[in-house]
Amino acid sequence: MAREELLRNVAFLRSLDPHDIDALSRQLDEVRLKPGDVILHEGEAESTSLFIIVEGDIEITHGHGRGLVELALLHPGQYFGEMSLLDGAPRSATATARTAAVLLRLERQDFLAYLKKDPDAAVLLLAELGGRLRHTNELVAQTTEDIQKMGGMEALDAPYTQVSFWSMVKKRGGWLAILFLGEMLTATAMSHYEDEISKAVVLALFVPLIISSGGNSGSQGSSLIIRALALKELKLRDWWRVFGREILTGVVLGAMLGAIGFVRIALWQRMGWANYGAHYMRVCVTVWLSLIGVVGFGSLSGSMLPFILRSFGFDPATSSAPFVATLVDVTGLIIYFTVAAIILGGIAA
């Protein structure tokens, strides 16, 4: 694509006549990048240029480390860096070459000179920035709604302080009732294993430990996948890769937590701080193996629910942490008491 054509793709330069476009194109510097090269650093104040992509893909990100967020992936014909081109302020994001890339660089002083010659370009630029601001506002609103859904409630349609008391009760009460009904299944599950509990009452002591660990792992998996889907780091076709990874991750995390539980029960028994019965080592093994199963199931279900909801056209944020926790509570009890029935084998602990 010729330089002149690339410049005409920039919305706020379209009003320049062909002579000005041609003159401006001759002033552009060419920049070549290798994959991984950073052309702009967030917070950088020295660079105030606009970059137009000729070849390759450029990733725009904000933040560092755990807080890193991909804002956009730009392709040939698109541009970036226009904010600092206008105000000369430090860069608000980082631009990195995803592939080998060729860019054209427009210096701020050259752009401002042409902007003075053509006021219409300024109007087009304001319209362009206004559109991007509207898009940002939409993203903020969507993020707020998703966060509220992940908390297990209907999204608020106004700021917290402006929502009436009864509206707040209505928006929160519905989800709480649904989750409460779901949690009632845990009582049903426990009643099914009443004989095992009566033979080994000590099993009841570790129910909160088991189900909370499963719920926590499920909430982690759900939050990670919802974020990855929202940022387009994952697509629906990636479910199989996530499936395998979360099974392995859940088993390893469950084994780690189970080992901690094993040591804790055995140590408390040996030190005389608690009495878990003559067969306390079997209780240790029961807790250990149960945590492997429960945490593994929690990680898997928490990571798969967003994919399932997305495939049916629903918002993945509705696979909220409370919903995942309720699901894992019930299945966690089933796993726990099934393992106990096998390992304890009717022995009174």
Rounded to whole angstroms, the Cα distance separating 292 from 294 reads 6
Q: What is the CA radius of gyration of the chain?
A: 29
pLDDT at res. 257:
93
324 touches 302 (CB < 8 A): yes
Rounded to whole angstroms, the Cα distance separating 288 from 36 reads 44
pLDDT tens string 299-339:
998 888 888 888 887 777 655 566 777 778 888 888 988 89
pLDDT at res. 308:
86
Domain ranges, ordered by start, for the chain: 3-140, 164-344
Number of Cβ within 10 Å of residue 344's Cβ equals 22
Mean pLDDT across the chain: 77
Q: Order of strands across the sheet with 101-106? A: 29-33, 101-106, 50-55, 79-80
pLDDT tens string 126-179:
666 666 666 665 655 555 555 555 554 555 555 556 667 677 666 666 666 665
Distances (CA, A) of 69 to 11, 44, 50, 64, 92: 26, 18, 22, 8, 12
300 touches 323 (CB < 8 A): no
| Second-level CATH architecture of 3-140 | Sandwich (2.60)
Find tokens 């408390």 and name the residue: 268
Beta bridge partners of 95: 40, 60
Q: Which CATH superfamily is domain 164-344 in?
A: SLC41 divalent cation transporters, integral membrane domain (1.10.357.20)
Beta bridge partners of 102: 32, 55
DSSP H helical ranges for the chain: 3-9, 18-25, 82-87, 108-117, 119-150, 165-192, 194-199, 207-230, 239-270, 280-311, 321-344
pLDDT at res. 139:
58
Q: Is 34 buried (19+), middle (13-18) or exposed (0-12) by CB count in 10 A?
A: exposed
16 touches 114 (CB < 8 A): yes
